[in-house]
Structure 1
Amino acid sequence: MNADDSRDANRPVHIAVLGPFEVHAGPVRVTVPGRRQQGMLAALALQSGRIVAAEQLIRAVWYDSPPRTATGQVQTGIWMLRTALVTAGAPSEVVQSHATGYRLNADLCSVDVAIYRARLASARAMHRRGWPDEAARLVRSAQDLWRGPALADIPHQGLRSCSMRLEEEHVAAVHYRASLELQLGRHEEVIPELFELVDHYPLRESLHADLMLALYRSGRQADALEVFHSVRRTLSEELGIDPGPVLRTLAQAILRQDSTLLPA
């Protein structure tokens, strides 16, 4: 870091968890020292603006096998985090200490997952107001933040449930946007993405339903029915069950070329 960088102690911090873990202070990439400190900062970032108890940080890093010195190691880790951030030009108050734990100062630090969730919330608000086009745009802007899988290079078992939850949120967002695009008549545009989703999540009937509808609206009736037959085989082989009523009803409507399936 040059002399100008060292004098700049007001760089806003940005933490990215929706993919490989990254930390920036302004334009400067921050090297977070050690896996343990990365896990602590990730745990703080996932609850940015809220106090995270030391016990939660211990569980995030060591899960159910913490050493006897875990509390002291957390204190040392927080000091190392602050040092790394300040060295990169971030304000010293980014990581705050409280009587019950530690907190990321949300006024000085942004986190991609918070931005992601805010955009999705705005999208749903726009949809409720009758503006699906704006809702779809906001969902796309949220998806632009996804570099997934979330916390890809953070190995701590204590954060695994968080990464799984973020993955679920991502799938739900992609599905939501596909539904919006179908509502807007952009069925051909969402077909490749829906095919990718059903490949990754072959047991999710709602995804197959949207794919079938998109294919049918694109003049691909046979392909739409093949998707139904494929998911029926998968459900039978994997779970020993038949498709639910929504998929069965949709398949029958496609067979008889029901006009209600076409956009208004």
Structure 2
Amino acid sequence: MSDIIADTEQATAAASGAAATEQFRSKRRTETADADTKRVDTLVSELLAATHDIIRRHKVTYAEYDALKSWLIQVGEDGEWPLFLDVWLEHVVEEVASENREGSKGTIEGPYYIPDAPLLPPEATLPMREDEEGIPLLFQGQVTGVDGSPLSGAKVEIWHADNDGYYSQFAPDLPEWNLRGTVVADDRGNFKVHTIEPAPYQIPTDGSCGTLIAAAGWHAWRPAHLHLKVSAPVHQLITTQLYFKGGSHVADDIASAVKPELILEPGQAADGKGREVTYDFVLDKA
């Protein structure tokens, strides 16, 4: 995947989209599409009916229809379907999928997850450049079950953008696992992650998603956030993002992924260097 990015001079929508598409295809190869025909019929029929209703209510013209057709073709050519779906649809799918959970809140995965990040001990510093810019951050907590029992050896996968808003493996000139790691909690489910605070960033706007954003008069910003996947044997994996209180675009995230329970309030670190915050995860039984 890194070869796709290495040939570019900047983090373009096309390069990022190609990498996200390749990653999505890779992680789905072993899954079986065992679709229930009645379920497909219901979902597709209702989707088409809703679209037909929009066309009739708003008297869509052929010029508008042709513009839509051209744009949909361009989304595919740009490789931006993962970006489009993850930004504008995934938050509702996640909401439905987790509506019966008792434990911690989840939210969208987004298009920039890479599996098999390096395994790290219970207290660890994420891989980063020697001159990594950004405010030092200690992110710590405990993983428990809904009954309060600590989950020994729970895995806390964490990844996030750098101080310029770029993700490793989706932008040029970044080390492969920069700001990515899998921290294995101790026998009490405790973990400590030393990293830097990520920056807010715009989703790529030089491709077809950017065209839609400009045409609709929207902004393209996501608030600064940490991505996490937290798992333990016989418990449900939780995928989430954590945001920073007072940060820009927390209230108007383009991906509509912010929930009140996911907002962090870091304080000054005990050693006076940077900030620290504690956030615990509660996992439901599988």
TM-score, normalization: structure 2?
0.21
The structure in which a higher percent of residues are strand is 2
Q: Which has the higher contact order (CA 8 A, sep 6+)?
A: 2
The structure in which a higher percent of residues are helix is 1
Larger Rg: 1
TM-score, normalization: structure 1?
0.22
